[in-house]
């Protein structure tokens, strides 16, 4: 028995085979333990690569993402306001640009909470763009699969500077998923 190439297995996982090619691959795949294991590991790797982004982006990382994509939605949100990102379809990734006054700030922390007030996640000492006055939070279409995913949550930024800690702003971040 000859096993299909890694390229065929990858094309099947990505949905790039014709119906006839997929049927032929699946006939072998379900009968061959080695190919089943290989495809399972490959799928896990694909999922990890699809969601492999740092939790907060620097301005340089955003520039690299923008240069590598035809279109990257960036949703700009001012303190006390909200916004919506639409993920799926043609956009698997979007970036929240949370604007705030970071003049003289040495450290920025980000805390996310559900609308009920329950904590979702916290990031301490995140990168921030002092020149543009923003923190860049990427969001990937695969976020909807996360066990703690909530399509609407509040993000709160706080700063440390020479005078101590102070709030920078709170933002309502809404996610809409189209054909995820």
- Residue 147 phi, psi dihedral angles, 5° rounding: -60, -30
Fill in the DSSP letter of residue 143: G
Range of the domain at 129: 59-178
Residue 138 lies in a domain: yes
Residue 16 lies in a domain: yes
Same-domain check for residues 17 and 93: no
Look at residue 78 in the predicted model and tell me its pLDDT. Answer: 98
> Is residue 53 predicted with pLDDT exceeding 80?
no
Cα gap 25→8, rounded to integer Å? 8
pLDDT digits (tens, 9 = 90+) for 120-169: 889 999 999 999 999 999 988 766 666 566 789 999 999 987 888 899 99
- Based on the structure, what is the number of domains in the chain? 2
Same-domain check for residues 94 and 157: yes
Helix/strand/coil percent split, the chain, to 5: 30, 35, 35
Residue 126 lies in a domain: yes
- pTM for this structure? 0.70
Q: pLDDT-based confidence at 60, cuts 50/70/90?
A: very high
Residue 17 lies in a domain: yes
Same-domain check for residues 173 and 103: yes
Q: pLDDT-based confidence at 35, cuts 50/70/90?
A: confident
Residue 1 lies in a domain: no
Same-domain check for residues 46 and 94: no
Same-domain check for residues 86 and 167: yes
Mean pLDDT over each residue of the chain, to the nearest integer: 87
Same-domain check for residues 166 and 109: yes
Q: What is the CATH number of the domain that holds 145?
A: 2.60.40
Same-domain check for residues 25 and 88: no
Same-domain check for residues 123 and 68: yes
> Token digits for 48?
């990890």
> Is residue 86 predicted with pLDDT exceeding 70?
yes
Q: Give the H/E segment covering residue 158.
A: strand 152-161
The residue that leads in pLDDT, 37 or 45, is 37
Same-domain check for residues 68 and 40: no
């Amino acid at each position: 028995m000859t096993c299909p190439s890694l390229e065929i297995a990858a094309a099947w996982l990505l949905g790039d085979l014709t119906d006839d090619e997929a049927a032929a691959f699946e006939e072998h795949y379900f009968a061959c333990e080695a190919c089943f294991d290989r495809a399972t590991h490959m799928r896990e790797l694909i999922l990890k690569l699809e969601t492999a982004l740092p939790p907060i982006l620097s301005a340089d990382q955003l520039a690299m993402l923008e240069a590598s994509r035809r279109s990257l939605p960036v949703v700009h949100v001012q303190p006390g306001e909200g916004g919506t990102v639409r993920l799926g379809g043609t956009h698997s990734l979007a970036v929240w640009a949370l604007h705030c006054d970071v003049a003289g700030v040495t450290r920025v922390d980000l805390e996310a909470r559900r609308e009920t007030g329950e904590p979702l996640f916290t990031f301490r000492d995140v990168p921030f763009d002092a020149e543009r006055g923003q923190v860049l939070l990427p969001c990937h279409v695969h976020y909807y699969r996360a066990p703690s995913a909530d399509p609407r949550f509040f993000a709160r930024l706080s700063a440390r500077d020479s005078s101590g800690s102070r709030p920078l702003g709170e933002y309502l971040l809404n996610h809409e998923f189209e054909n995820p």
